[in-house]
Homo-oligomer: A and B are copies of this chain.
Amino acid sequence: MSDSFAARRALIDRTLADAASRTGAPAVLAAPIRRALESPGKRVRGILLIAVGEAFGCRAEKLALAAAAIEMIHASSLILDDLPSMDDALLRRGAPTLHREFGEDLAILTAVSLLNHAYGAIAKAHGELSPRRWQMQQVVQRVVDAVGWDGTIAGEAVDLHSEGSTLDFDTLEFIHSRKTGALFVAAAAVGGMLANIHSAPLQRIEVFAKNLGLAFQITDDVLDVTSNPAVLGKDVGKDEQRLTFSKLAGVDGAREIAQELVATSLVAIEPLGAAATPLRELATMVRDRVR
């Protein structure tokens, strides 16, 4: 990881740790919240938000709260994914899953509280930056759509209920574009909106993020097959019952699709010139996960 990414990640980690230390939650809830916010993560969605905002002239410090909000939403979705009624996972980010350590009830309440808190943080981030072209309502709705009824939650629902059915690319694209893609695109879009960009540059950023998000998900699929839990920090082989790109196209085929998606993402931001250098570095990082 390059120095600039490490610095952005550290900034996000500090912002999350700060939130964890000031929840005002009763002890029984404060402990799982702290675990959820402080367990190590790649923070790739938050880094993406900051990299986009910085590419268009925002300072990283001003973007940290929104980036942390996106990471809270992501952490929330991981906690839910791991529940016994969903993936029933044992390991996440190198530690026992939240429900195994704190019980299912507190895991669910923690996940819901992280999503809830994120909306306050997004509103606050918009309030501080006050981008002329984007009203708070538009930014909030953008995140609501990414998470909601045709977003991450929809992807998760279809993923859980399409197991065992016929494998097909369309269903898989539906699931991945929502489960992973939607929040990637929203992270990039919020970064761009907070930096006050619109029309063509914003659209380019969104195409970049959409392709990069899908590539990221596919590299996850590949790592699920080729890695071991000690390296990955989460259960592997969980995808056996599930549609994945590596099952549809084989590991080598999936790797190839990921490379192509990264290439497409890079084409989208070509006209943005030198400002988009951090975005190119991010794309390269994703590509190199499964090289």
Give the contacting residue for A24; candidates B23, B83, B111, B150; CB below 8 A.
B150
Task: Select A140's contact among B123, B154, B160, beta carbons within 8 Å.
Answer: B123
The A contact surface, by secondary structure, is helix
Let me know if A149 and B112 touch, CB within 8 A.
no
A108 within 8 A of B: yes
Residue A243 interfacial (CB < 8 Å) = no
| Contact stretch, chosen from A9-17, A113-121, A219-227, A253-261 | A113-121
CA distance A113 to B33 in the complex (A): 20
Q: Is the CB of B149 within 8 A of A120?
A: no
Q: Is the C-beta of A228 less than 8 angstroms from some C-beta in chain B?
A: no
Tallying the copies of this chain within the complex gives 2
In this assembly, does A147 line the interface, its C-beta being within 8 Å of a C-beta of chain B? yes
Shortest A138–chain B CB gap in Å is: 9
**Contact status B80-A161, CB under 8 Å:** no
Q: How far is the CA of A278 from the CA of B16 in the complex (A)?
A: 44
Interface residues of A in 71-126 (CB under 8 A from B): 76, 80, 83, 85-86, 103-106, 108-109, 111-113, 115-117, 119-120, 123-124, 126
**CB under 8 Å from chain B, chain A span 156-205:** 156-158, 160-161, 174
Q: Is the CB of B108 within 8 A of A123?
A: no
Q: Contact partner of A25 among B26, B30, B149, CB < 8 A?
A: B149
- Please state if A148 and B116 are interface contacts (CB–CB under 8 Å): yes
Chain B nearest CB, measured from A156 CB (Å): 6
Q: Are B113 and A24 in contact (CB under 8 A)?
A: no
Q: Taking the nearest CB of chain B, how far is it from the CB of A78, in angstroms?
A: 13
Q: CB distance B104 to A123 under 8 Å?
A: no
Residue A207 lies at the interface, judged by CB distance under 8 Å to chain B? no
